[in-house]
Amino acid sequence: MTISAVAVFFFAASTVAKSIEEDVAAKARAIKPGRKVEVTLVTGEKVIGKLGSVQGDQIVVGTRTFPASDLKKIKPKMTRGEKWAVGLAIYGAIVGVVALTLGG
C-alpha cells in the first residue's frame, strides 16, 4: 500500500467512527430521560439502566456516565404497558384463529 492509500483508509475509518458516535448521541437525545435503556459499549458490554441527561458528548445511564465514543448502540427497553399490549395482541390472534377453526 502506498502512503496515500493508507491515509485515505484512516480518514474513511475516522469518518465512519464519528458518524456512528453522532448517530448514538442523536438516538440518545431522541429518547425521553427516565426511560429504561440498554446500552451496548464498544467493548461488547451491555448496560441496562434509566437514561439520565444527554449533554454534548456525555450520556448518563443509571449512575454511570459514558462518552458517546464509547457507545456502540442505545435502544429503549419495552415498558410494562408495551409488553401487555403485545401479549394481548398475541392472545387475541390465538383466540381468533381457534374461534374460526372450531366455529366454522
pLDDT at 20: 54
Cell numbers for 58: 456525555
In a domain, 97, yes or no: no
In a domain, 50, yes or no: yes
Number of domains in the chain: 1
| CATH number of domain containing 73 | 2.30.30.100
- Return d(Cα 26, Cα 10) in angstroms, integer: 24
In a domain, 32, yes or no: yes
Domain residue limits at 69: 3-78
pLDDT by residue for the chain (104 residues), tens digit each?
556 554 545 554 444 445 555 788 889 999 999 999 999 999 999 999 999 999 888 999 999 999 988 999 999 999 999 999 999 999 999 999 999 999 86
Nearest Cα neighbor of 27 from 85, 75, 93, 72 is: 75
pLDDT at 21: 58
pLDDT at 16: 46
- Return d(Cα 56, Cα 36) in angstroms, integer: 20
In a domain, 103, yes or no: no
Specify the 3-state DSSP secondary structure of 32: coil
- Return d(Cα 30, Cα 25) in angstroms, integer: 9
In a domain, 20, yes or no: yes
Which residues on adjacent β-strands are paired with residue 39?
47, 74
